[in-house]
Chains A and B, each alone.
Chain A
Amino acid sequence: MLSVTNRSPGAVLSATAVSRGTVPRFARLIYPLAWATPMAAWQTLFFVVPLGFLIVLTFWKVENYRLVAALDPVNWIAVYGTPYFWSVYLRTCAMAAGAAALISLIAFPCAYFLAFHLDKGARRLAVLLLITPFFTSYLVRVYTWQAFLGDNGLINAALQGAGREPVAMLNTVFGTFVGYATLCLPLVVLLQFMSLVNIDRSLIEAARNLRCPPWRTVWAVIVPSARVGLVLGATFAFILTFGDFVSPTYLGGGNPPTLGILITDFTKAGNQWPRAAVVAVTMVTTLILVAFFAVRFAYKTRRRSHG
């Protein structure tokens, strides 16, 4: 019996060795290529090519409402030369960063609870519930918020019932942030949860054995161990809210405007797609940079723990 079990791994090994020897090199390349090609083709077709077109479009001109192919930097000069463009840009960055931080903070206790205080069955149910918001279109969910947040909405009706003054929520930045949370919160909780649930429990037990107080355990052990999920969650929140048009328009009342609204302004006025493309290229560049640095930070090797 023993000899059989001992022999079989060796037999498999030698079989692979033989096949490696006989299969030609290029055939061995085909297998990984076959797996990698669809993704590369997809990315080229639906990201690189449109992005290239978008960049080309920024140099086109509009004559009598008609797009004319050209190589003219006029749109870059016009957009970057407008003072309000930069205030909208900074505002949108600040709002997206604020949303990413705030939503991460709100999501963390929830994800923590799911990961450490629920048994497997309850956890599965919770994850299912976190996915259900995606069954309904985001636009529909945002419109529903109007019924809650309006001056005569459900929340203010309740406040007035309790003898309080109504609070303006719709058409404010607060309204926009409610929409941002509607868009991102379930996703951020899921990402944080997946990171937290995979933390090596022995690290937490070790901290406890060494009499580390609970708060410090969270701060010094759990947060660093779950860094990848926490950073990715915040990054997704930034990316999704940075480009969002729906919440600032339908819950924020377009006041103050964000870059998404600025794009529609350009297309509505004089059919200025090239200028809208300048804004879009600026946004894509910003997002690529943010994603690059966030991923680098998330996967940075932990020097302290290794050294």
Chain B
Amino acid sequence: MSKQIHRRTVLKAAMAGAGLIGAGPLLSARPAKAAPEELTMLSWYGHAEPDAVAEFEEVNNVRIKKKYYVGGDQMLALLAQSPPGTYDVILTDREYVEQLVAADMIERLSPEDYPFDDFFPEFQKFPGHWMGDDLYSVMIRFGYLGLSYNTAVLTEKDAMSYAVMWDDKVKGRVGHFDWHLPNFGVVSQFDGNADPFDLSDDRWQAVQDRVFSLKPQVAGYFDYGGVLSSLRSGEVAAIPGIGDWITGVLQRDGATVATAIPEEGGLMWAESLSIGKGSRRPDLAQRFIQYMTSPAGQVRTAKLQAYPALLPTEGGWKALQASDPDEAARQGMVASGPNAMDLLRNGRIKPRALPVRQSLEAWNDAWSRYKNL
């Protein structure tokens, strides 16, 4: 008897379960709006968070499915390991676009689809995003890398030369963002190389020697989180090769940090959007890029929670000045007086790039040796 009851209960439960499963599609078909379309995106952290894309998702009834990477190498590895069409939109640093084109991982774009007239002249045909006359990637934001410092330890005047890193004031308090490219890049500028990444073997050796001589000053080699916490706590007083993308975040929290672009020069990073090869939703991907280069999208990316950035479009600057004059002033995106474009225009800023005459592996190897001195 008890067995039968048991069996009956099980049967009932099973039938109820089957009923629910059967009703599932009916129920989900009921909402007034159609199910949102999905757009897959591969990017640095933060670019698919609600503060950046909520409006686009709402207006276009899209859900962005994101995959974040840490570093261009990991991005290339992820793309190499997934079938074509996995990612509709790819956000990359400028220096990796060329590699994506060479590996046939992104689609060629039509320039007329994007508002290049609104871009500052410097960015209308930005090297790295174009291969000859072919466009592959559309710039959405950029920023400068120089010397970030604790304003309680160093003055702005101190930070106007990378030489201060060797000063006793910051002995044991120089930190490094653990990536060879920006570190060697700014020291190469300090060494007087006009093109910091195009070095003869002698010049490259000199840059290595210069970096290696910094070792007694070094507190540590940090990842993104480590850079934030060590700068914030005051543990580290100077970090070369980073910029407002770190100190801007800390300033929002009231930390006493700033970034200077020293007299010897600074680097520029630029992030751009591409459409993945074999994308199943190229039109939607295109609409997304159009949104991010429109004034509304530009304001959002300038103030991105994860890390702020400068804008390459005049429309973006105007919209930011109108909607958030404080942030526009903080970042120097102002209509009159000295502004963020001046540094680029007077030649103090060089784009961050991959080494021209040495292999990436050689630079990386030198960085590992430096860490192990």
Contact = CB atoms under 8 A, between A and B. Distances in A.
A257 B372 contact: yes
Interface residues of B, number: 35
A249 interface: yes
Interface residues of A, number: 30
Interface centre among B70, B79, B364 (most CB of A within 10 A): B364
Given A66-B80, A150-B235, A257-B372, A252 B73 contact: no
Contacts of B76: 64-65, 271
A141 to B, nearest CB: 16
A270 B371 contact: no
Nearest to B364: A269
Interface in B345-365: 360-361, 364-365
B235 A265 contact: no
Given A65-B80, A268-B74, A253 B230 contact: yes
B103 to A, nearest CB: 6
Interface string B233-264: 11110000000000000000000000000000
A146 interface: yes
Contact of A256 (B74, B226, B372): B372
A254 interface: yes
Interface string A138-174: 0000000010001111000000000000001011000
B372 A87 contact: yes
A254 B220 contact: yes
Given A65-B77, A265-B368, A271-B74, A253 B233 contact: no
Contacts of B360: 269-270
A270 B361 contact: yes
Contact of A268 (B73, B222, B233, B365): B73
Contacts of A250: 226
A47 interface: no
A171 B220 contact: yes
A84 interface: yes
B77 A271 contact: yes
B169 interface: no
Contacts of B7: none
Given A84-B372, A255-B218, A168 B172 contact: yes
Contact of B234 (A151, A256, A262): A151
B213 interface: no
B305 to A, nearest CB: 21
Contact of A257 (B103, B234, B371): B371
Interface string A96-123: 0000000000000000000000000000
A212 interface: no
B235 A64 contact: no
B205 interface: no
A87 B370 CA distance: 13
A147 B137 CA distance: 43
B364 A270 contact: yes
Main secondary structure, interface of A, reads loop
Given A254-B221, A255-B218, A88 B372 contact: yes
B219 interface: yes
Nearest to A248: B220
A265 B364 CA distance: 9
Given A255-B218, A257-B371, A171 B364 contact: no
A66 B81 contact: yes
Interface centre among B220, B233, B235, B371 (most CB of A within 10 A): B220
A253 B372 contact: no
Contacts of A64: 76, 80, 103
Interface string A243-266: 000000110111111000010010
Contact of B73 (A87, A152, A269): A269
Interface string A49-72: 000000000000000111100000
Given A66-B81, A168-B172, A171-B230, A270 B73 contact: yes
B370 to A, nearest CB: 10
A276 to B, nearest CB: 12
Interface centre among B76, B235, B372 (most CB of A within 10 A): B372
Nearest to A91: B372
Interface string B314-344: 0000000000000000000000000000000
Contact of A171 (B80, B180, B235, B372): B235
Contacts of B71: 268
A255 B219 contact: yes
A168 to B, nearest CB: 6
A268 B72 CA distance: 9
Interface string A271-285: 100000000000000
A146 B222 contact: no
A65 B69 CA distance: 14
B369 interface: yes
Contacts of A254: 178, 220-222, 226, 371
Nearest to B365: A82
B73 A171 contact: no
B220 A252 contact: yes
A256 B233 CA distance: 21
Contacts of A88: 372
5 contacts: A64-B80, A265-B368, A269-B180, A269-B368, A271-B76
Given A170-B233, A171-B235, A265-B368, 15 more contacts: A64-B76, A82-B368, A84-B369, A150-B234, A152-B234, A171-B230, A249-B223, A254-B221, A254-B371, A255-B221, A257-B221, A268-B70, A269-B180, A269-B360, A270-B73
